[in-house]
Amino acid sequence: MKTTNAVGIVGYGAYIPMNRLRAEEVNRVWGGSGTPIEEKAVICMDEDTITIAVECARYAVRRAGVDPQEIGAVYVGTESKPYAVKPCGTIVAEAIGATPNVMAADYEFACKAGTEAFQNCIGLVASGMVRYAMAIGADTAQGRPADALEYTAACGGAAYIFGRKSDRTLADVEGSYSYVTDTPDFWRRGLEKYPRHGSRFTGEPAYFSHIVGAAKGLMGGLGTGPGDYKYAVFHQPNTKFPINAAKVLGFGMDAIKPGLVVPFVGNTYAGSSPIGLAATLDVAEPGDRILMVSYGSGAGSDAFSFLVQDAIAGDRNPDPPVSSFITRKRYVDYSLYSKLRGKIHR
């Protein structure tokens, strides 16, 4: 999908909570073997999806240097809403000073809810309906005790502000592509605490077919190939999947390494590929092209092609880079983790 008016990213920000749970700690308690990642980020006592969204939204506004009153839409993509009914988007919009002349809502599409918000923000800005639009992917993902997901289900998010292409856009959107089917690989029904998944069904027919389908669809439409991209970011449910997806599509480790945060952060669900993109933008240079492909169970992928602009060079480090959140950490044991994630109650 290409817009008739050029759109780009004018600001972005990420946030990752400080607590970490080592995968080995899960093995210590449950007796498993193998570790799909090193460690995952866990919220603190006073954090939830909304506080994460607010943190990264504030960083994005600061980096963009825009008047929050000019942000005409705030969309939060998440599958871990603190309220079943009451938008996260309204709270974030209020917190950053974008209310009341603003659209606000939440998106749900498992791990691609954040990039679904990207697509809509890009469309709103390109059409001229709003000057700026903010898309956030943030989650405090749930994993059933001893389930494979407990090793990886993590907390974090990233926010992006889209605006018309100008000398202030950090990276321009060259095109996007969505690839969606009814594939029930992972789900959580209403009032259920933990999601369920189809085990190995989540791999080949779910993650890989959609990631590859979206990436090929986008590159086919733009006439680009892996050689045209300096960097690539794929949704990161574990360390193995994005590396294998890169291999299948013809990308080397050098291309995905800057954005491959999952070994140290875990799978932040709707925040996963947006955080990976943020970590990549942190190191990208003008002229670099970045491919980003999300994946959400249920299932679908959104693929984006970004061309990094000159503005990025002058916009470095007013705000914390993703790497600073990765190194800022303290370890919790399984007991404290259980309390923080509501697995035990007084």
Q: Which of 7, 53, 29, 8 is nearest to 268 (CA)?
A: 53
Whether 236 contacts 38, CB under 8 Å: no
Which of 35, 115 has the CB closer to other proteins? 35
Q: How far apart are CA 40 and CA 174, in angstroms?
A: 33
Distances from the Cα of 38 to the Cαs of 142, 154, 260, 320, in angstroms? 18, 12, 12, 23
Evaluate the omega torsion of the peptide bond into residue 299 and state whether it is cis, within 30 degrees of 0: yes
Which of 2, 200 has the CB closer to other proteins? 200
Q: How far apart are CA 326 and CA 314, in angstroms?
A: 24
- Tell me if 250 contacts other proteins by CB under 8 A: no
Which of 26, 136 has the CB closer to other proteins? 26
Which position among 39, 47, 79, 116 bears the catalytic label?
Answer: 79
79 is catalytic: yes
**Residue 304 carries which side chain, given as an amino acid letter?**
F
Ramachandran region of residue 308, left (φ > 0), alpha (ψ -120 to 50) or beta? beta
Q: Name beta bridge partners: 176.
A: 304
Say how many residues touch other proteins, by CB under 8 A: 8
Going residue by residue from 192 to 231, which x/- string records binding to other proteins, judged by CB under 8 A? ------xxxx--xx--------------------------
- Residue 190: CB minimum distance to other proteins, A: 22
Q: How far apart are the first and last CA of the chain?
A: 51
111 is catalytic: yes
Distances from the Cα of 166 to the Cαs of 144, 275, 314, 346, in angstroms? 46, 24, 14, 54
Q: What residues from 13 to 72 belong to the interface with other proteins (CB under 8 A)?
A: 33-34
Which of 201, 334 has the CB closer to other proteins? 201
Which position among 88, 111, 121, 155 bears the catalytic label?
Answer: 111
- Residue 146: CB minimum distance to other proteins, A: 12
Which of 27, 224 has the CB closer to other proteins? 27
For every residue of 19-85, DSSP letters joined together read EEEEHHHHHHHH-----SSSEEEE--TT--HHHHHHHHHHHHHHHHT--GGGEEEEEEE-S--S-SS
121 is catalytic: no
Measured in degrees and rounded to the nearest 5, phi and psi for residue 75 equal -120, 130
Which of 194, 201 has the CB closer to other proteins? 201
Q: How far apart are CA 76 and CA 117, in angstroms?
A: 7
Residues annotated as catalytic (active site), given as ranges: 79, 111, 235
List of residues contacting other proteins (CB under 8 A): 33-34, 198-201, 204-205
